[in-house]
Chain A
Amino acid sequence: MTTQERKQIPIVDDLFAMPSAPDGQPRLIGSRCPVCGEYFFPKRAICANCQNEDLREVLFGQRGELYSFTLVRIPPFGYKGPLPYAQGQIQLPEGPLVNCLLTDYDYDKLQFGMEMEIAVAKLEEDAEGHELMAYVYRPVSKDARGERGS
């Protein structure tokens, strides 16, 4: 297989839009309810707040605040990747709280409320050698970035 044939594929459809340029950022795909104004991530068909069935698909902005974080040393059952890794929760300005893996961080410099931005990272390869990609978040501040996961 040549490198040209290797593609980057989102690991789950309809969760996030891949970046349009190689150094670009992805966008989380969600829903907005035009009746009550709630935003949802991931996207859903029926409003959880008011049960309106006519939700609009939205692309979220690329930044949010770090609500909480932890360094995972004992992973979930079946996980075979490198340890430890950081997991976080990102408070999007639109409302949803997004669970995610973190990348490109210096763990000791992570702070509650710090500005984070979305990126993509390879989770694994499929049988054809395509890279299965997930969205991740990293600190906007260069000072809080590290070598890990970059």
Chain B
Amino acid sequence: MREVAVVGVGMTRFGRRDDKTMPELGVEATLNALRDSGIAWKTVQLAYCAAANQGLAAGTRVLEAIGMTGIPIINVENASASGSTAFREAYLAVASGAYDVALALGVGKIGKGGLSATDDVRETNISRVMGLNHALSNFALKMNRRMHDYGSSIDSFARIAVKNHHHGALNPYAQIQKEVTVEEVHASRMGCDPLTVLHMCPISDGAAAAILCSTDVAAKCTKGPLITVAASVFKTQAYRSRNCPGPDVTEVAAKEAYEQAGMGPWDMDLVQVHDAATIEEVESYEFLGYCKYGEGERLIDEGATQIGGKIPFNTDGGLLTRGHPLGPTGLAQIWETVVQLRGQAGPRQVEGAKVGLAHMIGYGDVAVIHILKR
């Protein structure tokens, strides 16, 4: 496998984007990534398009508007991890030597409706009986149990929302660019006790894209620092139960990613994680190796994970405020990591950032981790 560079990133602002169609959002992000890379569309040899619930052939619907160059366009769906999966597939295509230049694109217009994994009534009835298929209540159950097991305070989880609102307020592409206080998080509408709506990410529309290429191609087009992929790992949860205990899928993926990169958790300068709910970021501190189980709350309480802290997490605001249109989310993490490693993040800049980790979880217990370095 050869080294792969990320030479261009582009995205749209996330949020309610009634002003544009899904393909129009995809075109905007792709053109931004192409311009950023200095690579012409006709040079791109392969495209992966991540989209969840966007109808048939999302990728060709977007890219025909840019130019019908005859390249393979492969649609990828892996729920929240769709964008990270598309990035990984593009990485593998270039790393293998089969292609020199590839696009990873993510598009999503989620709108207001609910997302359902299936329309088969035999499956949906089971979800209703078992109270599944409700992200809010599932996070609340997890949060309540964690507070019981570790004596955590709801304030610690609220501080995740406060921190990520602070980071989002510094990101011009974030859906929510507004500071909140712990008191405001507690006072927001109750969803499922004790989880108020400000503990949850919003529903979003948007698009994000990255251009990957061989280092030979990168040497010809990049003027700035060379950003390369130091690790790419994809795992699904291996079977575990009370009687057969085992590690969380993110722990397994992280261990392998650190091995691939030849680095440890504290070699990272910044980390992006899947914070669909505040509790997920606290858990990720533990799964990614920054502290022991039950100590995640201390990291946020001490301010270690804010910009300027020991290990900044979700420097672009995370799912909580940058937004989460599913397909594009993992690529928005890549966008933020590349911008930070180039030193172009403005008021969000992590001083001297050289290595960044991006982690996504998808429905069905999927974890994808990438480490980028300059």
Judge: A and B partners, yes or no. Answer: yes
Q: How many residues in A have their beta carbons less than 8 Å from beta carbons of B?
A: 37
List the B side residues contacting A72 at CB < 8 Å: 131, 134, 136-137, 140, 192
Q: Within the assembled complex, what's the spacing in Å between the Cα atoms of A23 and B290? A: 53
A11-B125, A12-B122, A12-B125 given as contacts; is B242 within 8 A of A74 (CB)?
no
A49 interface contact, C-beta 8 A = yes
Cβ of B310 under 8 Å from chain A: no
Write out the residue numbers on chain B whose beta carbons fall within 8 Å of the beta carbon of A75.
134
Give the interface of A toward B (CB within 8 A).
11-12, 15, 36-39, 42, 48-49, 67-78, 87-89, 91, 95-101, 112, 123, 134-135
Query: In the bound complex, do residue A91 and residue B126 qualify as a contact, i.e. CB atoms below 8 Å apart?
Result: no
A42 to chain B, nearest CB (A): 7
Closest to A91 in B: B242
- A73 x B192 contact (CB < 8 A): yes
A107 to B321, CA, bound (A): 32
Contact between chains at A38 and B190 (CB < 8 Å): no
Interface of B, secondary structure class, is mixed
Our pick among B113, B128, B142, B197 for the contact of A74 (Cβ within 8 Å) is B197
Q: By the criterion CB–CB under 8 Å, are A38 and B244 in contact?
A: yes
Complex contact B192–A15 (CB within 8 A): no
Chain B residues with Cβ under 8 A from A36's Cβ? 244
Q: Is the CB of A112 within 8 A of B242?
A: no
Interface CB pairs A-B, < 8 A, 25: A12-B125, A15-B129, A38-B243, A39-B243, A42-B126, A68-B141, A68-B142, A70-B137, A70-B141, A70-B144, A71-B193, A72-B134, A72-B137, A72-B192, A73-B191, A74-B190, A74-B197, A76-B134, A87-B137, A87-B192, A88-B141, A97-B241, A98-B130, A101-B129, A112-B148
Q: Say yes or no: A69 contacts B141, CB within 8 Å.
A: yes
Q: For B140, what are the chain A residues with a Cβ–Cβ distance below 8 Å?
A: 70, 72
